[in-house]
A and B are shown apart, each in its own frame.
Chain A
């Protein structure tokens, strides 16, 4: 069942066409990866789905509703959660308070002037943290957490809004190889159990081919291939796009590079 439908998205910056007639769908519980060489337009497409960029043409539909021109705030309320390439959390707050803040916003209490924030939704926040394995760090300031842990907290924040769609921009960038697999396994299990569609961009091909159900390949703003990891890996055009790094798309053999 279609959760996200992107129809004919187009965006140009001056003379550079960053996205040309980009069309794809994401189903509930499905993990879809967008890959492509640097400058292929991944982030542009991503930010148009996330609400940070306005497309010149085209449509973004979530559950059949048009969200093409909705602000990031509105998208959040419609059920879009997101994580950022460089993890964005509230560094002056504890891990639990970060999640509590998302819950407060979700319950439209962010203008509350009386009951202290740290007393609201505390149990629910700790439960969300435990789902990403961060319950013990609930009272640790985010500024004192290791980067991999911050990424997990960020995932918990994104989940606090009970999203239907999770947008993850290079979810494993800056993480150690072992942490990468763990984070993506976690994401996959949560997405599957709750029927959340996940759209992510990624540079690490192990992560892409290990976790995505389908892969989109962008080149110069256009989708040149789409399909299961195996289909994409065999595609001649894709191989050419990654020319010079022919083995980039091959499945890892023997010991994992780390």
Chain B
């Protein structure tokens, strides 16, 4: 192969590594000190890009020159830093002690809020920034033209690494940051002003995110998809490098930059898959990344259901619920039946996640993977093999269970935030496959023509089929939760060392739980595919995973039946409010944040506590 081509490819790998490092470095510092995985870090990056793309041209009109350009970039980063401070003071400060699932969800709420706000403030169009004065002409490298701005970016990474190193080594603030990364409680008990330290850390982290974003403006236009695409890569960099480790992030960014630059030659469409596979391999060998430490990350993650005396008259309640579900088609029109069908499907999906999170304490952030596998499994069976719905649904379920078996094999060794990131990565890999393997999956358009068999077609029959399958599966799962298997999962969640000391094979049980939960989610996915007649990659996306998590949160993580109520509430609200406003994501994000802050026990949990307090 042409050496010049290889050199240019390696250089562009280095420049993307630099950008990635600058952003991920902020994420890892914030995590080290606050132990919060800040989903909104990508949003800060996006705000940095938008701010710079808007601000720098205005400044250049006043006085054209390199100084103005770079001052504009830095000013944008400072503005983002201040936004980070606002987020810390208003939100993060209140959730440092919360379970990590709540932290992830709350910061994801910020992502949703920012997505709508950015459109409101900067408008819906992509904004292309100005090129850097003095760096417009490309340079020749081994006879090939290479953008000179990229060379500056290559230098920017090590410069930021050096400056951060100086900051952490030579200043009092840096000493405190390093101390807090090692032992937050010890720093607190030494009388350090924690509020100030955390706010300062958030400023630094957000500043770096903003800088990372602002530096992009001559290369790519600021757009609304930047936040989630960079956060996925930044997560990989911080996890591979070891959460909280700045040098680890640098090393990981270098590797990933090169992997992307050369991976594109081997798998032209699937660099994302290559990147996530790297993460899977690294975590399989080193469960805490290159330089990470074994520790319990985040707050307590042992929130979940606990033993309660069986509800008196529960058989009667169950009969009434089944009767109401069965009689519903007599009262409802086709539209309501369609809505009810989807609610039931999502209730099943959320309930399957409850087995992992509420029972097992395994915070899976990529449950959409199994929902999507079920949907795609069924749709592919219909499209390529022409099988009927009766055969396609079990095939989808089987594919989801198989996927859960594979993913589970990787993730059961991990814990806490690494597990959440790994499940997220698994879902993103599948998303990328569904999106990019156009010949088989139809790519962005998905697969259409997935219709139920004639006996089950029409709103009422399909509703009844869904209701029957959902009720049976939920009852089976409930049985499993109450059986020794469910108790063993709870035992491992409550105290892993105690569970091992009484001979429980914790990993095997968790693996099994992954397969059961994956199979149930796959059934929900298959039902969803036939209810809509089509599948598309969004079923595998982050937002589908977050939907399920929001349903859990809304219903109450500490209750067995909460997810069912949460699914109904979220779906009904969405159906009702989404047509009325263009700011649905803003509302949803604010509601998620509000739930975490003031309503963490969810609907069912709150009602139950109120009931018990009265009795």
Contact = CB atoms under 8 A, between A and B. Distances in A.
State whether these chains interact: yes
A90 B483 contact: no
Given A93-B490, A111-B484, A120-B484, A73 B503 contact: yes
B349 to A, nearest CB: 21
Interface in A119-142: 120, 141
A118 B482 contact: yes
A209 interface: no
B487 A93 contact: yes
A113 B479 contact: yes
Interface stretch (A38-46, A101-109, A210-218): A101-109
A55 B230 CA distance: 44
Interface stretch (B50-58, B442-450, B504-512): B504-512
A191 interface: no
B504 A110 contact: yes
Interface string B465-502: 00000000000000110111111101101110111111
B306 A141 contact: yes
Given A88-B501, A92-B490, A160-B502, 18 more contacts: A72-B497, A82-B501, A90-B494, A90-B495, A90-B498, A91-B306, A91-B495, A105-B488, A105-B504, A110-B485, A110-B487, A110-B505, A110-B509, A111-B488, A116-B482, A117-B484, A118-B307, A157-B502
Chain A contact-residue range equals 35 or more
A115 B479 CA distance: 8
A94 interface: yes
Interface of B: 302, 304-307, 479-480, 482-488, 490-491, 493-495, 497-505, 509, 512
A117 B487 contact: yes
23 contacts: A72-B503, A76-B500, A81-B501, A84-B497, A88-B495, A88-B497, A88-B501, A90-B490, A92-B494, A94-B307, A101-B491, A101-B502, A102-B502, A105-B488, A105-B503, A106-B502, A110-B485, A110-B488, A114-B483, A115-B483, A117-B482, A117-B484, A141-B307
A73 B497 CA distance: 10
Query: Closest 4 CB pairs between A and B?
Result: A92-B306, A76-B503, A88-B498, A117-B487
Q: By CB atoms of chain A within 10 A, which of B483, B486, B502 has the most?
A: B502
A81 B501 CA distance: 7
Given A113-B485, A114-B479, A92 B503 contact: no
B483 A112 contact: yes
B11 to A, nearest CB: 40
Interface string A179-203: 0000000000000000000000000
Contacts, number: 114
Interface in A50-77: 50, 52, 71-73, 76-77
A178 to B, nearest CB: 26
A112 B485 contact: yes
Contacts of A101: 484, 487-488, 491, 502
Contacts of A161: 502-503
Contacts of B502: 76, 101-102, 105-106, 157, 160-161
A115 B490 CA distance: 16
A177 B498 CA distance: 25
Contacts of B494: 89-93
Contacts of B304: 92
Given A92-B490, A116-B483, A111 B495 contact: no
B501 A76 contact: yes
B109 to A, nearest CB: 27
Contact of A113 (B302, B307, B480, B504): B480
Nearest to A143: B306
A48 B22 CA distance: 43
Contacts of B485: 110-113
